[in-house]
Amino acid sequence: MNKIFKPLLTLALIAYNFLPGEVCFAQPKEITPQEIVSYDGHTDAVKCVAFSPDGKLIASGAADNLLRVWEPRTGKNVFVGVSHKAPIWGVAFSPDGKIIATASDDKTVQIWDASNGKPLKVLKGHQRSVGDVNFSPDGKLLVSASNDYTIKVWNTTTWDEVREMPEHRNWVSTAFFSPNGKNILTASYDFWIRIIDVKDGTVLNTWKAHTDWVTSAAYSPDGKKIASSGGDRLVKLWDASTGKELFTLEGHSDIVRYVAYSPDGKSIASGAGGDNTVRIWNPETGKEIVYLKGHSQEIIQVVYSPDSKLVASAGSDNFVKIWNIEPLFKKP
């Protein structure tokens, strides 16, 4: 039987085993998040996961070279996309939910019909593995980040490459548009973060964010803060306009692979290798709220549902787990 632990001696508690994962609290809580789905459709490590804009579907990519689209609350398969020749590391829905973009070790970005999984376009230009893809808020542009140290911007009407941004000095792990669509935030294994102007590629700000690889970086929904994760086992929170460090979030015992900001701005989620946990943090205080343990191997990516009620975690154990975190934020 799994146990629910609260690491406070004065609050020892025996709880019923109502979820398959282990839930541990950094602070006293009356209600625990539930692991509602453990999706096992992939046959190799799951590298990436994304919710559709309406939250009704999830797309996941894996080392089995497959794109799978399925229902997050039931695990029911919708379709399988077969086209990539190597593992898929990045996946994103367009803002209107009509298309899906994937990034792969086969050096391509591929575009899919989100309704049926039909391949629509293959974007070529990167010289090495493509690790991340994301759409602009208006859906008119797509950004891709690669192990060839480059960031490319694509026109989603013509699918032409419209701009190559200034190179990092190592792999570019993630690239995201700012909430207003004017800038691109990049994170790199060169330990640095950059904010780049979309129109002309000017580097507006850059700073050394971690003492090891910067594995990901994400904007808060209002664009005022940036969360980053690193090989130094840390999550950090920054002022987006100045690059000033606001908080260092400590708790993971190994490389933090990914960080995500909730759409409602109330929490940050991080996933790590080694300790195999998802941790939920309060961005206003820098304090850990809870950590979730259900994966048996490292976690590669974490994402929120559009309503911020669910967190999905993609793991090297071939599973995607869906956690209901809504109870953490319900008022008594």
- Residue 210 · residue 170 · CB < 8 Å: no
**Does 9 map to a domain?**
no
Distance CA 133, CA 155 (A): 13
Predicted local distance difference test score (pLDDT) of residue 330: 79
**What's the domain range around 50?**
33-329
Strands (E), 94-234: 99-104, 108-113, 119-124, 130-135, 141-146, 151-155, 161-165, 172-177, 183-188, 192-197, 203-208, 214-219, 225-230
**Does residue 237 lie within any of the structural domains?**
yes
pLDDT at 13: 24
Question: Residues near 128 by Cβ (< 8 Å), separated by ≥ 6?
Answer: 107, 146, 147, 148
Task: Tell me if 8 is assigned to some domain.
Answer: no
Contact, 125 vs 107, CB < 8 A? no
Query: Is it the case that residue 187 has pLDDT exceeding 90?
Result: yes
Cα separations in angstroms, 331 against 23, 31, 301, 326 = 20, 11, 29, 10
Please check whether residue 16 lies inside any domain of the structure.
Answer: no
Q: What is the pLDDT of residue 332?
A: 64
Q: Is the pLDDT of residue 1 over 60?
A: no
Which CATH number is 67's domain given?
Answer: 2.130.10.10
Q: Which residue has the tokens 């590391």?
A: 89
Find tokens 């967190």 and name the residue: 311
318 within domain boundaries = yes
pLDDT of residue 24: 54
Q: Give pLDDT tens digits for 55-99.
A: 999 999 999 999 999 999 999 999 999 999 999 999 999 999 999
Q: How many domains are contained in the chain? A: 1
The verdict on residue 90 lying in a domain is yes
pLDDT over threshold 50, residue 234? yes
In a domain, 25, yes or no: no
The answer to whether residue 156 sits within a structural domain is yes
Q: Of 312, 271, 242, 298, whose CA–CA distance to 60 is shortest?
A: 312
pLDDT, position 9: 22
Strands laid side by side in the 46-51 sheet: 46-51, 58-62, 66-70, 77-82
pTM of the model: 0.90
Q: In 235-252, which positions are buried (b, 16+ CB within 10 angstroms) versus exposed (e)?
A: bbbbebeeeeeebebebb
Choice among 9-13, 146-150, 171-175 with the minimum mean pLDDT: 9-13
Alpha-carbon distance 271 to 230, whole Å?
11
